[in-house]
Amino acid sequence: MLNKKFLMACAALVIILVILLRPDGKSLQIPYPYKMTPLKKQKIDANAVWLGSEFSVIAGQYIDNLERRVRQDLPDFRIKDFSRNFLGLHRSLQVLESLEPFPKIIYYMGNSQEASELKFYLPDHKKITKNLNLYSSKEFQKKLKESGFLTNPFEPYQKVIELNDPQVQSLEMKPEQKAAYLSALYSLYEIELKELIRLARENQSKLILVTTPIKLKDSQIENCTQPPGDLKIKLLRLQSFASKGEFEKGYQLGKGLLLKYKGFAELHYVHAVLSEGTDRFKEALDHFNLAQSFNCNLYGAKPVFNNLIRAAAKRYDLAFFDFDQYLQEKFITSSDSLKTNKIQKSSYRSLVETLEYLTLK
């Protein structure tokens, strides 16, 4: 009898806990597939924040101008700049959640140094991948919502490590490992982007997304898989044509190689240089982008991140400026812009003017 009463009491307690811990639809938070340590609360004397990493730091030099322009219509408008190098989206979220009061306007121009975050140790790839698969399962999400968070279904993983950690400085990965790392990184970024949108909506804040310009002429190009021997030899020939200024010969050889070999960043990059040399600027731009998409060098912005931002802006109907696309269209019509690989001050003025419009809209 005692055992029966005890079991009934335990069952009742479990039911009560499930009811108390079950999240409602408004405040539902699906747990991350990795751990994020909350920061201490910090008060800010601003109603807007600027978030992001390397390119956002550069663009942040112009936000005083943006603030002055908006204050003509909103006298109390203030922007606090939280952008800094190597500040990926997950740490930007940490900053955002620590702010009091929560900003009414959030500008996010990120992703240029996401890979520099190194969120998890290399041995944790399998655990992270398993967590991501579990996280993205609709059946699992449904069960999680129904049962509440009484258990942690995710695989444990080691601590997040900073860039100055000796283990990061000595970390070397094979191209195949880097490809796996980037794949997990893209999935994590998409999850974090959704979390940014959720935070903005839950706090009734306006989120303005901005794509980051891609460094098209980036010499740090690395194939994700080793090219076969015959391609290695032909890549040397292509590079020789480019260095000698024999762009048309190299271009014709490159066209043929691209029909046979797919997904080699170095091939796309050299072909882009050859295309540029023959004044085929649209084709050069396409292959510079493909080179970055297939690039397994972990540092620098990649088109995949921008595509995730574009998709999120469209899906959730967010205020959005495709700064990268805007500049690429200028590159096509201006060979000098493509050759110098630099962003002109006039382009930053256009950025400020567009953000002013989106802020006041």
Strand ranges (E), the chain: 42-43, 48-52, 79-81, 99-100, 105-109, 206-210, 319-321
Q: What is the pLDDT of residue 122?
A: 59
Task: Quote the CA–CA distance of 118 and 311 in Å, as a whole number.
Answer: 24
Give the model confidence (pLDDT) of 80-133 as tens digits.
999 988 788 888 888 999 999 999 999 999 887 787 665 555 566 677 778 878
Quote the pLDDT of residue 225.
81
Domains recognised in the chain with CATH numbers: 36-120+174-216+301-361 (3.40.50.1110), 229-293 (1.25.40)
pTM over 0.85: no
Q: Which phi-psi region, left, alpha or beta, contains residue 318 (left: φ > 0; alpha: ψ -120 to 50)? A: beta
Q: What is the pLDDT of residues 24-62, one digit of tens each?
A: 333 334 445 666 667 889 999 999 999 998 888 888 889
Query: What pLDDT, on the 0 to 100 scale, is given for residue 8?
Result: 58
Mean model confidence pLDDT for the chain: 80
Q: What residues in the chain have per-residue pLDDT under 70?
A: 1-37, 116-125, 144-145, 147-152, 156-173, 218-219, 299-300, 331-342
Amino acid at 251: Y
pLDDT at 110: 83
Q: Which residues contact 47 (CB under 8 A, 6 or more apart)?
A: 76, 77, 78, 103, 104, 105
